[in-house]
Chain A
Amino acid sequence: MTDIAGNAAPLEPGGPLGTLGPAGDMVTVATPVTAVPRSAWRLLLRRPTFIIGAVIIVFWVFCAIFGHAIAPYNPLEQQLLFNNTGPSSAHWFGTDTLGRDVLSRVLVGARDILVVTPLATILGTILGTALGLAMGYLGGPFDLVVGRFVEAVLALPAVIIAFLFIVALGPSTTTLIVVIGLIFTPLIARTVRAAVLTERNLDYLSSARLLGERPLRIMFREILPNVMPAILVEFTVRLGYAVFAVATLSFLGFGVQPPTPDWGSDIAADYSGLLAGYWWQVLFPALAIASLVTAVNLITDSIEQVLNS
């Protein structure tokens, strides 16, 4: 009688028939609890936060694909005599140290981050999922050994790991993808492992063992579909972090090479100009990064809430 308040509808007795509570459909259940049904899309599309996030991302995707077409100037074209000029009608976002149009660079600069970020996150998600499935399902010494390793890796600052890899592999977008993917792997593995552990005690795995199914099939055909929602949420969360990671590593000079426009490396190239008052060279790429991170997070929140509702 003390803590029932505020809880969702208590379960009807008698087990799973009533697991949806009084508001649910009792006989023919329309919404499976953990699946991502088609109606989830409708729920998502009804959320303003999702719409805003999606609009921003669509905008940047559009820039990534058609940036060169919509940019008012060639983002590489230098006008050394007109460098460091502030925003004006000719250059809405001003020009950089080499007299290039900042607006054009911001628009075209979306490309690499929008390629690297999802690819890195997908890589990390695939590796992390495989590892997490194996840890969670196989358990025992494998889980113990890999778990300790994962903890050790997580204890190191990500930037240091990134440096190690980048020094070994040399800077390039492929390196960025691999490095961020590998950094995300243990994080995602940990989440997936936790999700698998809740599945591990369910009888369908016993059923599978009684059919003589092999561990790989059990992991990928039986367990994986059931932990997909957790992976999906983890994926979108990581996507937000990946935007930051890519921007940070580009800022540190490990990503796209100049003169290719890139938000992170453009900020790195021009941030010293802040002291001289050339704020536009840094502010606009920074806003671009912020908008992308915010958009991804808006979408992440929406997906999480829809999956949990």
Chain B
Amino acid sequence: MTTDSGPALVVSNMDVSYKVRGQDRRALKNVSFTVARGESYGLVGESGSGKSTVALALVRYLPRNGRVSAGTVSINGQDPLGMGKAELRELRAKTISMVYQEPGRALNPSLRVGEQIAEVFEIAGEKSDEATASAENMLRKVQISDPGRVMRRYPYELSGGMAQRVVIAMALAVSPSLLILDEPTTALDATVEAEVLDLVAALRQEFDTSVLFISHNLAVIAKMCDRVGVLYAGELVEEGPARQVFDDPRHPYTVGLLRCIPRRGQRKDRDRLDTIPGFLPGPGHNLAGCVFAPRCALARDRCRTEPPPFFDVGDLRTARCFFHEQAPDLPRATPASAAALATDGIGGPLVKIEKLSKTFPGGVQALAGVDLTVHRGETLGLVGESGSGKTTLARTLLGLTSADQGSVLTLDGKQLSADARRRPRDVLRALQIVFQNPDSALNRRHTVRSLISRPLSRLAGLSGTGLRDRLAELISSVRLEERHLALRPGQLSGGLKQRVAIARAFGARPDVVVCDEPTSALDVSVQAAILNLLADLQQQEHATYLFISHDLGLVRYLSDRIVVLYLGRVMEVGPAEVVFTGPHHPYTEALFSAVPSLDGQRPDRIKLEGEIPSAANPPSGCVFHTRCPRKLSTGVCESTEPPLLEGEPGHLIRCHIPLTELRTIQLSESVPSQGSSH
């Protein structure tokens, strides 16, 4: 190793291009940044910004058609770009470690976890038994409570969070001087994400490792990084200390991006989210001036002809914008207030769910006796970790999964058949869904026209002119254009695809639309537009929403009421603001505290111990007691399932702790300790 004092990583003027059909397409242009020793540097950007390309280029893992066409890289003083194979292998084994979004891809499915970690130590020169001991020790460090047991398992036997911890353990096994984390928590639940992020933060302290943290999630970057670089279309547009950049962005793109995210206190009926108009330029674009100019409300002629240099905007910050001073005053792309959006439409019960249970083969009880009412015109937000039963609830309501005997589903007082195939046409029309992933939800072999027309002819009974008129009306209300009709989903961007899916769901004027994580596959700038659209459509069509999301910010922004699910049981129901402001169920409390916020100000977090238990074998008593930080010492939590009690009108909580007491604890206490009794 050369120096111990210099920066861990220096990237200067790096260009990367991919050869596509014989043409070089530049994916990164003139990217420069430095990660100091012990520093955590965040690279943030939307899909296609080139942030993963940075990670791949640094360790020379670019696909065969990609190459670093200009610039230099220095890792710990070494130049990976000029290395031979053996040197490179050495560098990868000892100096750099990488952690990716999918832990499954980093683990060999046919080897036991212990062998894989030990192997890393063996490569580093340890003997077999030493390596096993080191592996166990390492697993303990990533807070795996029973490392011996985990080491005997195969990767597929681990949950996502556990697997990611194992990958991190392997990454840190060699005490790398640079750890590259590429979207390490994107595939994880909020609670697990919070744990993994805490773990990374703690380990960084312990190992004094420099970190390059790559994410599309601004809040995660805000929480984890000292400094941040904002990447747009392969160029770094703004850089500086994380806190300052997010509090006072100086590039119009950063400004726009931050405005897309619903902030606390914003609500669909009062505040519209801002969006960024237009599209990201494709790779290999040939823009003469600023890459963001085509979408920038501040852009002048100069921006389109002359590439802006980095401007020093103070506090060690730079922004690549001629008009960085005006950036905070960037005009909105959408009106700020939603004037007509009043919640006048909430009416009586529309959907009633009683004693809804669903047991899958193998005894997995995804839902256990859920009682729920959805009111006409409201948005009911459904939150919970993966495995809490959110999606199963939606699918049983729609009749895609049939509920257990004894469950009762009614729509407008009429009982619903458990199987969609046996539901009459008008019931099918009344209940529709916007799926999470439009790629899966839209038949890729059908044109947009046929995709949107089919529900019109099938469920709304339209044909001829009637159908054409409604089609035109629909595409204009989801802001699609006539030319899109002839295209197939593969030719559309993610946001456009989701608009098609929304148009399809709304085509036959449904009464209830289930939105199952409708924006989780989308970038924030696109997400904002879709959320606005959903809000508008609800207004126009007087639709009722069952909105499922793991993103509490979105749920808070959109929902009138919120249901918190855990292991197929309702833990808390109440009006959105009440649920958010508290007092809440300890589980709700933990969920909220796990969400990183943009201001980075969430020092104290209620930690959840361990994994969500198996639904095939739920804990006795209160199903949450195994992870509950406020579990009572009386033993009642272990023995008796608490009832769902109405503490205030419309606010129900399933907890042995009385509501008043919860309020007191939650207001007074910042860091509750495990098992504290009250």
Interface set of A (CB-CB < 8 Å, partner B): 1-5, 7-19, 21-23, 25-35, 202-204, 206-213, 222, 225-226, 228
Residues B441 and A12 in contact, CB atoms below 8 Å apart? no
Question: Which residue of A has the minimal Cβ distance to B282?
Answer: A25
How distant is B539 from chain A, measured CB to nearest CB, in Å? 24
14 interchain pairs, CB-CB under 8 A: A2-B108, A19-B439, A22-B50, A22-B63, A25-B283, A26-B280, A27-B48, A32-B491, A35-B444, A203-B441, A210-B398, A210-B433, A222-B443, A226-B445
B29-37, B124-132, B248-256, B420-428: which lies at the interface: B420-428
Residues A23 and B25 in contact, CB atoms below 8 Å apart? yes
A-B pairs, top 9 by smallest CB distance, nearest first, are: A32-B490, A15-B521, A225-B445, A26-B48, A17-B494, A13-B183, A203-B441, A18-B47, A203-B435
Interface size on B, residues (CB 8 A): 83
Q: Considering the chains assembled together, what is the distance between the CA atoms of A36 and B563 in angstroms?
A: 45
B379 at the binding interface (Cβ < 8 Å)? no
Question: Which residue of B has the minimal Cβ distance to A223?
Answer: B443
Q: Considering the chains assembled together, what is the distance between the CA atoms of A248 and B555 in angstroms?
A: 67
B437 at the binding interface (Cβ < 8 Å)? yes
Q: Assess A226 versus B280: contact at CB under 8 Å? Given A2-B106, A13-B215, A16-B439.
A: no
B91-99, B310-318, B357-365: which lies at the interface: B91-99
Given contact pairs A16-B497, A25-B283, A210-B400, a sample of 10 additional A-B residue pairs in the complex whose CB atoms are under 8 Å apart: A10-B105, A15-B522, A18-B47, A18-B48, A22-B52, A22-B63, A25-B282, A32-B488, A210-B431, A211-B459
Q: For residue A27, which residues in chain B have a CB less than 8 angstroms away from its CB? A: 48, 279-280, 282, 493
Contact among B52, B98, B171, B399 for A13, CB-based, below 8 A: B52
Q: Considering the chains assembled together, what is the distance between the CA atoms of A212 and B56 in angstroms?
A: 46
B663 at the binding interface (Cβ < 8 Å)? no
Residues A211 and B454 in contact, CB atoms below 8 Å apart? yes
Binary contact track B138-171/A, C-beta < 8 Å → 1, others 0: 0000000000000000000000000000010011
How distant is A229 from chain B, measured CB to nearest CB, in Å? 10
How distant is A224 from chain B, measured CB to nearest CB, in Å? 9
Residues B171 and A32 in contact, CB atoms below 8 Å apart? no
Binary contact track B472-516/A, C-beta < 8 Å → 1, others 0: 000000000000000011111111010000001000000000000
Residues B27 and A22 in contact, CB atoms below 8 Å apart? yes
Q: For residue A19, which residues in chain B have a CB less than 8 angstroms away from its CB? A: 439
How distant is A188 from chain B, measured CB to nearest CB, in Å? 20
Interface set of B (CB-CB < 8 Å, partner A): 18, 20, 25, 27, 46-48, 50-53, 56, 61-63, 65-66, 92, 97-101, 105-108, 116, 167, 170-171, 182-183, 186, 215-216, 279-280, 282-283, 395, 398-400, 420-421, 423, 425, 428, 431-433, 435-446, 454-455, 458-459, 488-495, 497, 504, 520-523, 526
Residues B431 and A212 in contact, CB atoms below 8 Å apart? no
Residues B106 and A34 in contact, CB atoms below 8 Å apart? no
**A-side binding surface: helix, strand, loop or mixed?**
loop
Q: Assess A13 versus B47: contact at CB under 8 Å? Given A1-B98, A210-B428.
A: yes
Residues A3 and B283 in contact, CB atoms below 8 Å apart? no
Q: For residue A206, which residues in chain B have a CB less than 8 angstroms away from its CB? A: 395, 398, 400, 433, 435, 441
How distant is A58 from chain B, measured CB to nearest CB, in Å? 27
Residues B63 and A9 in contact, CB atoms below 8 Å apart? yes
Q: Assess A12 versus B48: contact at CB under 8 Å? Given A1-B170, A17-B521, A210-B400.
A: yes
Residues A26 and B282 in contact, CB atoms below 8 Å apart? yes
Question: Which residue of B has the minimal Cβ distance to A23?
Answer: B18
How distant is B599 from chain A, measured CB to nearest CB, in Å? 23
Residues A22 and B444 in contact, CB atoms below 8 Å apart? no
Question: Which residue of A has the minimal Cβ distance to B51?
Answer: A12
How distant is A246 from chain B, measured CB to nearest CB, in Å? 33
Q: Considering the chains assembled together, what is the distance between the CA atoms of A204 and B441 in angstroms?
A: 4
Residues B435 and A207 in contact, CB atoms below 8 Å apart? yes
Q: For residue B520, which residues in chain A have a CB less than 8 angstroms away from its CB? A: 15
Contact among A10, A13, A33, A222 for B216, CB-based, below 8 A: A13
Residues B280 and A23 in contact, CB atoms below 8 Å apart? no
Contact among A11, A12, A16, A228 for B437, CB-based, below 8 A: A16
Q: Assess A212 versus B425: contact at CB under 8 Å? Given A12-B47, A22-B27, A23-B65.
A: yes
Q: Assess A28 versus B282: contact at CB under 8 Å? Given A1-B92, A17-B494.
A: yes
Residues A4 and B282 in contact, CB atoms below 8 Å apart? no
Residues A211 and B108 in contact, CB atoms below 8 Å apart? no
Q: For residue A209, which residues in chain B have a CB less than 8 angstroms away from its CB? A: 399-400, 420-421
How distant is B516 from chain A, measured CB to nearest CB, in Å? 9
Q: Considering the chains assembled together, what is the distance between the CA atoms of A148 and B367 in angstroms?
A: 34
Q: For residue B65, which residues in chain A have a CB less than 8 angstroms away from its CB? A: 23
Q: Considering the chains assembled together, what is the distance between the CA atoms of A15 and B520 in angstroms?
A: 8
Residues B523 and A211 in contact, CB atoms below 8 Å apart? no
Question: Which residue of A has the minimal Cβ distance to B119?
Answer: A2
Q: Considering the chains assembled together, what is the distance between the CA atoms of A228 and B488 in angstroms?
A: 16
Q: For residue A14, which residues in chain B have a CB less than 8 angstroms away from its CB? A: 46-47, 186, 216, 521-523
How distant is A190 from chain B, measured CB to nearest CB, in Å? 22
Residues A33 and B490 in contact, CB atoms below 8 Å apart? yes
Q: For residue B97, which residues in chain A have a CB less than 8 angstroms away from its CB? A: 1
Among B108, B395, B399, B521, residue most surrounded by chain A Cβ atoms (within 10 Å): B521
Q: Assess A35 versus B445: contact at CB under 8 Å? Given A10-B100, A15-B520, A29-B490.
A: yes
Residues B98 and A4 in contact, CB atoms below 8 Å apart? yes
Q: For residue A32, which residues in chain B have a CB less than 8 angstroms away from its CB? A: 444, 488-491
Question: Which residue of A has the minimal Cβ distance to B400?
Answer: A206
How distant is B609 from chain A, measured CB to nearest CB, in Å? 28
Question: Which residue of B has the minimal Cβ distance to A225?
Answer: B445
Q: For residue A35, which residues in chain B have a CB less than 8 angstroms away from its CB? A: 444-445, 488, 490
Question: Which residue of A has the minimal Cβ distance to B487?
Answer: A28
Q: For residue B494, which residues in chain A have a CB less than 8 angstroms away from its CB? A: 15-17
Q: For residue B395, which residues in chain A have a CB less than 8 angstroms away from its CB? A: 206
Question: Which residue of A has the minimal Cβ distance to B109?
Answer: A3
Contact among B20, B98, B182, B444 for A34, CB-based, below 8 A: B444
Q: Considering the chains assembled together, what is the distance between the CA atoms of A204 and B500 in angstroms?
A: 12
Q: Considering the chains assembled together, what is the distance between the CA atoms of A7 and B62 in angstroms?
A: 9
How distant is A205 from chain B, measured CB to nearest CB, in Å? 9
Q: For residue B497, which residues in chain A have a CB less than 8 angstroms away from its CB? A: 16
Residues B101 and A13 in contact, CB atoms below 8 Å apart? yes
Q: Considering the chains assembled together, what is the distance between the CA atoms of A43 and B493 in angstroms?
A: 24
Among A206, A210, A225, residue most surrounded by chain B Cβ atoms (within 10 Å): A210
Q: For residue A29, which residues in chain B have a CB less than 8 angstroms away from its CB? A: 490-493
Residues B106 and A26 in contact, CB atoms below 8 Å apart? no
Q: For residue B279, which residues in chain A have a CB less than 8 angstroms away from its CB? A: 27-28
Contact among A1, A26, A213 for B493, CB-based, below 8 A: A26
Q: For residue A22, which residues in chain B have a CB less than 8 angstroms away from its CB? A: 18, 27, 50, 52-53, 56, 63, 66, 283
Among B47, B99, B282, B438, residue most surrounded by chain A Cβ atoms (within 10 Å): B47
Q: For residue B182, which residues in chain A have a CB less than 8 angstroms away from its CB? A: 10, 13
Q: Considering the chains assembled together, what is the distance between the CA atoms of A4 and B104 in angstroms?
A: 11
Q: For residue A225, which residues in chain B have a CB less than 8 angstroms away from its CB? A: 443, 445-446
Residues A211 and B458 in contact, CB atoms below 8 Å apart? yes
Residues B66 and A23 in contact, CB atoms below 8 Å apart? yes
Residues B440 and A203 in contact, CB atoms below 8 Å apart? yes
Residues B458 and A213 in contact, CB atoms below 8 Å apart? yes
Q: Considering the chains assembled together, what is the distance between the CA atoms of A203 and B443 in angstroms?
A: 9
Residues B428 and A211 in contact, CB atoms below 8 Å apart? yes
How distant is B375 from chain A, measured CB to nearest CB, in Å? 22
Q: For residue B437, which residues in chain A have a CB less than 8 angstroms away from its CB? A: 15-16, 203
Q: For residue B116, which residues in chain A have a CB less than 8 angstroms away from its CB? A: 2
Q: For residue B493, which residues in chain A have a CB less than 8 angstroms away from its CB? A: 17, 26-29
Q: Assess A23 versus B63: contact at CB under 8 Å? Given A14-B522, A15-B494, A225-B443.
A: yes
Question: Which residue of A has the minimal Cβ distance to B401?
Answer: A206
Q: For residue B433, which residues in chain A have a CB less than 8 angstroms away from its CB? A: 206-207, 210
Question: Which residue of A has the minimal Cβ distance to B186?
Answer: A13
Q: Assess A17 versus B48: contact at CB under 8 Å? Given A23-B18, A210-B420.
A: yes
Question: Which residue of B has the minimal Cβ distance to A211?
Answer: B458
Among B18, B520, B526, residue most surrounded by chain A Cβ atoms (within 10 Å): B18
Question: Which residue of A has the minimal Cβ distance to B284?
Answer: A25
Q: Assess A210 versus B490: contact at CB under 8 Å? Given A19-B439, A21-B63, A23-B65.
A: no
